[in-house]
Amino acid sequence: MKRFKLTQALLFAMALVLFTTPGHARVYYDITATSFKKVTIGVPPFKGEAADRLRSDTTDLLNKDLDLSGFFITTPQSLMDKELTDEGVEKASIKFGNWRSIGIELLCKARLQEKDGDLAIEAYLYDTLDGSLMLAKRYRTRTDEWRRAVHRLADDIMLAVTGEKGINSSRVVFVSGTRNRKDIYISDIDGTNTKSLTNFRSITLSPSVSPNGRYLAYTSYKEGKPNLFVMDLDQHKEVYADRDEGMKTGTAWTGKATLLYTHTAGRYSTIYSLDVEKKERKVIQRNEGISASPSFSPEGTKMVFVSDMHGSPQIYLKDLVSGNTNRLTFSGTYNSAPVFSPKGDTIAFVARFEGAFEICLMNADGSNQRVLTSGGLNDSPQFSPCGRYIIYSSNKGGKQNIYVMLFNGENKRLLKFTEGEESQPKFVP
């Protein structure tokens, strides 16, 4: 009698194991992200005919921009003695050996010329190893737009050294506010020129801007329930609204002005693509339960999204050509907010990991899943247009703030735009 029961128990246990083990290889989180070597750059105080304040502001801003880029180690002013900072800007007057001896690999010197509200910045970038000139450029601007000129210089240094421009001239849309009052804002990434795009005295969420830069999508409770709107930014007027019952959130775009949004109501979740200009809406997918956060690959042939179709929120990849859907995440009980890199090779997402909600990265086929952040409640990862950076929100320190980091998790930097709780950031194309 006892042996029969034992056999039954064993058979039952076997059945359990057989039916609950997923059919794919298990993927594990790899916490150690691949690193690359940063370059040490020296930016001594800019010279030339301009107010002291302007010269120090431009020098400081360039250092800040290079630090934000994640590819450079900037040199503190205290490390550069008078002999170094008194040098001229042209190659002939530079003793590269002195710069090398304090560990500086690249040297950026600039001369300002300010007159009658116009500013010119003459900038040179040298490799201290052999004194070769990597960049020589003049930037002209109105004096009161000096920040813009410095950002362009920083982006050009990035281009010369890494082959791609940086994000210093970027703009960001995001949500800011307090519990019952949230609006959409746009800002330069350096925290200046911040202005609100909505002012509805309500809760307005989930902003995103179309690739052609013309439209802003958002979900707002201004009419008493969450409705989805698309606004023409040039004319500042709404050109589309979905007021159906249920939750509508649009989070991503494809092509020039095609919005992807989900509608959750009744038993189903529907993912739509909406060509805003042609006013054409198509159903991409409809399923029972929850589906959210759709994001297309850059060529528009694949879609990632989160769904609870297997019980808990997990990330799925749908081939839009064949219609096949594959599950990408198998670790843990909460994987959400997926977004495709503009390079198409990786997907950023949020995973519940050791009690926290972390920004993670995986290859587009679901392999090599790794954690990029370290603790707290992190959310809403989005790539920069170049694909090298991820912007996201985090509640570290007790308040919701926006951060930017390299795609491998390095060089996390706090961005500050307003006094409110900031969330759901996206780069403006």
Residues that bind another protein (CB under 8 A): 179-180, 182, 203, 205-206, 219, 221, 224-226, 245-247, 249, 251, 262, 264-267, 269, 289-293, 306, 308, 312-313, 333-334, 336-337, 350, 352, 357, 377, 379-380, 423-424
Q: Which is nearer to another protein, 251 or 285 (CB)?
A: 251
Contacts for 204 with CB less than 8 Å, ≥ 6 apart: 175, 182, 183, 184, 198, 218, 219, 220, 221, 222
Contacts for 255 with CB less than 8 Å, ≥ 6 apart: 211, 275, 300
For 198, which DSSP code? -
Beta strands of 212-246 (E only): which ranges? 215-220, 227-232, 237-242
Q: How far is the CB of 360 from another protein (least distance, A)?
A: 12
Q: How far is the CB of 175 from another protein (least distance, A)?
A: 9
Q: How far is the CB of 223 from another protein (least distance, A)?
A: 11
Cα 362 to chain centroid, rounded: 15
Question: Within 13 Å and on the Cβ side, how many CA atoms surround 47?
Answer: 14
Contacts for 238 with CB less than 8 Å, ≥ 6 apart: 229, 230, 231, 232
Q: How far is the CB of 276 from another protein (least distance, A)?
A: 20
* Integer-rounded Cα radius of gyration of the chain: 26
Give the integer Cα–Cα distance in Å for 252 and 206.
10
Does residue 358 contact residue 139 with C-beta atoms inside 8 Å? Answer: no
Task: Quickly count: other Cβ atoms within 10 Å of residue 249's Cβ.
Answer: 19
Q: How far is the CB of 206 from another protein (least distance, A)?
A: 7
Q: Which is nearer to another protein, 42 or 294 (CB)?
A: 294
Q: Which is nearer to another protein, 75 or 400 (CB)?
A: 400
Q: Which is nearer to another protein, 43 or 173 (CB)?
A: 173
Identify any residues that bridge with 426 across adjacent strands, giving them in sequence order: 173
Cα–Cα distances (Å) from 369 to 186, 313, 361, in that order, read 32, 16, 6
Q: How far is the CB of 307 from another protein (least distance, A)?
A: 10
Q: Which is nearer to another protein, 251 or 346 (CB)?
A: 251
Identify any residues that bridge with 120 across adjacent strands, giving them in sequence order: 113, 140
Q: Minimal CA–CA distance to 43: which of 148, 140, 120, 157?
A: 157
Q: Which is nearer to another protein, 42 or 207 (CB)?
A: 207
For 203, which DSSP code? B
Q: Which is nearer to another protein, 32 or 180 (CB)?
A: 180
Q: Which is nearer to another protein, 168 or 329 (CB)?
A: 329
Q: How far is the CB of 334 from another protein (least distance, A)?
A: 6
Q: Which is nearer to another protein, 146 or 272 (CB)?
A: 272
Q: Which two tokens stand for residue 327?
A: 């599950």
Q: How far is the CB of 315 from another protein (least distance, A)?
A: 11
3-state secondary structure 366-425: CCCCEECCCCCEEEEEEECCCCCEEEEEECHHHCCEEEEEECCCCCCEEECCCCCEEEEE
Q: How far is the CB of 290 from another protein (least distance, A)?
A: 5
Q: Which is nearer to another protein, 13 or 265 (CB)?
A: 265
Q: How far is the CB of 138 from another protein (least distance, A)?
A: 45
